[in-house]
Structure 1
Amino acid sequence: MADTASIMKLREQTGAGILECRNALDEVKGDFEKALEIIKKKGIAKAAKKEQRVTAEGRIGTYIHTNGKLGVMVELNCETDFVAKNEVFQQLLKDICMQVAATKPLAVKREDIPGHLVEEQKKIFNEEAKGKPAHILEKITSGKMDSFYKEKCLMEQPFIKDNTQTIQDLLVANIAKIGENIKVNRFVRFEVGEC
């Protein structure tokens, strides 16, 4: 039988219901880490079910660095205006603004990076690996492109407050917690002296 403190801690970290937390802890005989994994997997499944829902509401968040030389705007969408006013949603928006300010992503996801930049990057990586056999060259380029995407695509970046999860993981956890589909629609980052 799971103790109340563990149930509440699991609920606080995941946003899952009390019964769901208790059942997960009972299933793994009180092992908190294993219960956390179970809840996360269920959250991913819940998020996947909500993925096709329309996100026509939301908020625009901003961040201006203390020196006044860096600014960010992010549009975070959800399904209802009620959720857009929610504290959890607002905190997520702030965290994503900070992420964009700190990491300089080029796009929300891979598909959003302009094709000419992707091709340019591939050429650079191919040149670096020149002279290798074709099958190895392809693996090297593919691996370096994955690293490029993890650095330049917001959704694939490690979260600055917890590098064990990506921004996509953070979004999925918040979708499970809030119970609505949430999407980062777009962002813009301004820095004095950059074009």
Structure 2
Amino acid sequence: MSVSAKQVKELRDATGVGMMDCKEALQETDGDFDEAVSLLRKKGQEVADDRAAVEADEGLVVTAVSDDGHAGAIVEINCETDFVARNEDFQSFADTAAERVLEETPDDLEALESLPYEDDVTIEEELVALTGRIGEKLTIRRFDVLESEEGQIISYVHPGSKLGVLVEVHGDGKAEETGRDVAMQVAALEPIAVTRDEVPDEVKEEEREVAREAAVNEGKPEHVIDNIVEGKLERFFEDHVLMEQAFVKDSSVSVKDMLDDADLSVARFTRYALGD
């Protein structure tokens, strides 16, 4: 059966699938539009099933923040190659998924995939369809939502969208400008906590054990080892605790000093690096 260019265009506009695939689907279904859509979705599922065991460690980290700044979402979506990560359809899907997460705050990945993407298509269905169009394994790996009644959520995505950060800031200072500086700090120096009190006890003990073993192996006198251990733990805090890190834009001050001057504080942060 022959199909018109208009029919092919309508199917392409509805599904985003290539012109030749749309034409073949219409020919196979004798021009039935709904059947052609269903056929293309089935083919997308077949591609997804075929690629299920393949590693997908490229992709994007994207964020979305509400207009009032009181909520933010961060999502990691994976594909097989960096080439696909630069695909406009893939990027558009990632951005829309982040917006849906922000709007609906799902409890888990299953709930996220059940959210509406657009019209009567769910995020999972669109992901399968996109898999069929692109021909690579695509997965939503993880997401997080930060909400704050009193503070502001600031986002930063590093160029290339492989690394993203959400930060919750409070205070009367310039939250957008200073919060972005903090988010960039988190992206660059990868702190493990806002304050030293938030560092898990097991992490502190592990650092103490490593420092003690090193001191013993170096033949340090027993009476100075405790001081050496605590000194190294202090340096660990300076390197890995946000408030105690040197500020990346001015290493003569700590992040805490910078925030105090800006009349702001940080409550928490979330950092996603692709594949972590």
TM-score by length of 1: 0.71
**CA drift at 1:66:** 1.0
Secondary structure at 1:172 match in 2: helix
Instruction: Please name the residue that 1:90 is paired with.
Output: 91
**CA drift at 1:14:** 2.8
For the pair 1:52 / 2:8, whether they are aligned, the reply is: no
Greater strand fraction, Structure 1 or Structure 2: 2
Q: Quick one: distance in 2 between partners of 1:181 and 1:160? A: 19
**CA drift at 1:160:** 4.8
| Deviation string, structure 1 residues 76-129 (Cα, Å, up to 9, x no partner) | 1111111111111110111110111111111113xxxxxxxxxxxxxxxxxxxx
For the pair 1:159 / 2:116, whether they are aligned, the reply is: yes
In the alignment, residue 139 of structure 2 is paired with which amino acid? K
Q: Quick one: distance in 2 between partners of 1:36 and 1:59? A: 28
Based on CA coordinates, which of the two structures has the bigger radius of gyration? 2
Question: Structure 1 residues 7, 160: CA separation in 2 closer, same or farther (over 3 Å shift)?
Answer: closer
Secondary structure at 1:98 match in 2: helix
Instruction: Please name the residue that 2:138 is paired with.
Output: 182
In the alignment, residue 189 of structure 1 is paired with which amino acid? V
**CA drift at 1:168:** 1.1
Q: Quick one: distance in 2 between partners of 1:190 and 1:183? A: 22
| Deviation string, structure 1 residues 43-69 (Cα, Å, up to 9, x no partner) | 111121112211111110000111011
| Greater than 6 Å deviation, 4+ residue runs | none
Aligned residues: 150
Instruction: Please name the residue that 1:12 is paired with.
Output: 13
Q: Quick one: distance in 2 between partners of 1:89 and 1:5? A: 26
**CA drift at 1:25:** 1.3
Q: Quick one: distance in 1 between partners of 2:53 and 2:13? A: 27
Moved more, 25-34 or 177-186: 25-34
Secondary structure at 1:187 match in 2: strand
Q: Quick one: distance in 1 between partners of 2:118 and 2:19? A: 26
Q: Counterparts of 1:40-189 in structure 2 under 5 Å?
A: 40-109=41-110, 153-155=111-113, 157-162=114-119, 164-189=120-145
Structure 1 spans left out of the alignment, 5+ residues: 110-152
Structure 2 spans left out of the alignment, 5+ residues: 151-267, 269-276
User: What is the alpha-carbon root mean square deviation over aligned residues?
Assistant: 1.9
Q: Quick one: distance in 2 between partners of 1:14 and 1:77? A: 21
In the alignment, residue 144 of structure 2 is paired with which amino acid? V
Instruction: Please name the residue that 1:3 is paired with.
Output: 4
Q: Which structure would you say has the larger RCO, counting Cα contacts within 8 Å and 6 or more residues apart? A: 1
